[in-house]
Chain A
Amino acid sequence: MKKIVSRRGFLAGAGAAGSMVLLGCDSTTYLPPVVRGGLMGAADVLTMATHRLLLSGQPLAQEHDVSEITRDFPTWGNTNPRQEDYQSLLQGEFVDWRLPVGGLVNRPMSFSLDDLKRLPPRMQITMHICKQGWSAIGQWTGPPLLEVLRAAGGVTDEARYVVVATYDGWYEAYDMFDVVHPQTMLAYGLNGSDLPLGNGAPVRLRVERYCGYKNLKFLKSIDVVASVAGIRGGTGGINSDNDWHWYAGA
């Protein structure tokens, strides 16, 4: 008799735990937009799902002391997009730079640098980690991405991904889990000055939980979409189009 009760108790407990997992979240939070085939895809899902579970409380990234700031912040990858439209903006000191925020927002609009500076800014001293292995500490200033989307009237119910494109031809999609994080920001300042050219002037994206390759530089446009299908390679980013990890937290 005792045995039956305990087994029933166990089954009930397991059932409750299972339904909590099912109810507690949208399964897309745990999956990249396109899962690669085979074992590689299984490993991607394991990594992303584990991290997202551990991040479910949306903890803030560690902030460092002012004394720990890397003064000569390294520049890496593309340090000066050769594209003509970018070069002319650079020559005009980005006075004519505009960031269109469109797609599934209620009030599509275009932000100048001054518009962004008028939004409530955030300042954070965090570590930038490159997938190649280097790390440096910088003080970033800019409005949270969420504030920018709010200024554009907020996103509609169908919105699932925010697609960010750059002047040097890069693009990446971010799901709402990353978009709503308070430290996900459009940084126009580094270490108290304007964002230098080599670090992505005039504005770069900061997603602190991701490797550098998903902290895009030289921002050109922001597009809110329901699905990444049909956008370039269709996997939700230039990195995953080229068989890198879409989830960049590892």
Chain B
Amino acid sequence: MIAFGYLVVSGVHIFLDFPELYWGKVGFRGHEAVFKLSDWGISWDEAGDMGDRRWGRNYHFLFAWISVINGLVYVGWNVWNKHFRRDLLPSRDELSQQNLKADLVDHVRLRTPESKTEGRYSVLQKISYVIVIFVVSPFMILSGLAQMPAFTEISPELIDLFGGRQSARTLHVIGMLWMILCVLIHVFEVFVAGAVNEVRSMITGKYAIVREDPE
């Protein structure tokens, strides 16, 4: 979480130093852009004053490594203890339209879903975690690598896969926005479900379930 915060902030610093996004292989000041911060009332000079690119690059690479190592340990550990297969992969039953619909209605009404009372993740929760862990995270790593000049030698195919160096940069930013959205929804849901109990369960793995058992 701390590493994610640093990655976002340092990434924003790097972006502020060149506050335009392009599509394709080539992009520079004066080239046709898909996003310009100056269209939103912040000029190049103002953005440059806000961003510290030396700090940004240093900390972005440091926390990228911390995140990658942390992520490998997390994935390795949870594959080993079968947490993914047992608790995270949605079962066929859970993926039925009926169950998906029910879970969606629960979420929209901010009602704690039934699965939660049994100490399991709900199906939408499972799907969003799987996407973040196995799709968006690798996507962020690869689109980051595709921006590095060394990868014009190591793997130009990777850069082409993203549609060029500038497309990789733009997609990296979109991926970041997606992850921020996931974090915001996640934190919001934690509060809806009861923050103290949830955070305790994340760290210790124990979740208190109040049973209304008849005497």
Where the two chains meet, the residues of A that have a C-beta atom closer than 8 Å to any C-beta of B are 39-40, 42-44, 46-47, 51, 54-55, 59-62, 64, 68, 70, 72, 74, 76, 126-127, 129-137, 208-211, 242-245, 248-250
Contacts and interface: CB of A to CB of B under 8 A. Distances in A.
B153 A43 contact: no
A132 B26 contact: no
Nearest to B156: A62
Among A127, A244, A245, chain B packs the most CB atoms within 10 A around the CB of A127
Contact of A133 (B17, B25, B148, B154): B17
20 contacts: A47-B61, A59-B153, A72-B30, A74-B29, A126-B152, A131-B57, A133-B18, A133-B27, A134-B29, A135-B26, A208-B149, A208-B153, A209-B149, A209-B152, A209-B153, A210-B150, A244-B57, A245-B61, A249-B148, A249-B150
B25 A137 contact: yes
B53 A131 contact: yes
Overall SS of chain B's interface? helix
B7 interface: no
A68 B27 CA distance: 12
B88 interface: no
B146 to A, nearest CB: 11
B156 A244 contact: no
A126 B165 CA distance: 12
Nearest to B21: A133
A39 B31 CA distance: 38
Contacts of A55: 150, 153-154
B98 to A, nearest CB: 47
Interface residues of B, number: 31
A249 B57 contact: no
Overall SS of chain A's interface? loop
Given A74-B28, A129-B147, 15 more contacts: A43-B61, A43-B65, A46-B65, A76-B28, A127-B165, A133-B169, A134-B18, A134-B31, A135-B27, A135-B28, A135-B166, A137-B25, A243-B54, A245-B57, A249-B150
Contacts of B165: 127, 129, 135
B65 A74 contact: no
Contacts of A43: 61-62, 64-65
B123 interface: no
B149 A129 contact: yes
A61 B28 contact: no
A43 B153 CA distance: 21
B159 A250 contact: no
B152 A137 contact: no
A59 B154 CA distance: 7
B8 interface: no
Contacts of B26: 68, 70, 127, 135-137
Contacts of B27: 133-135
A44 B26 CA distance: 27
Among A76, A210, A248, A249, chain B packs the most CB atoms within 10 A around the CB of A249
Nearest to A183: B153
A129 B145 CA distance: 13
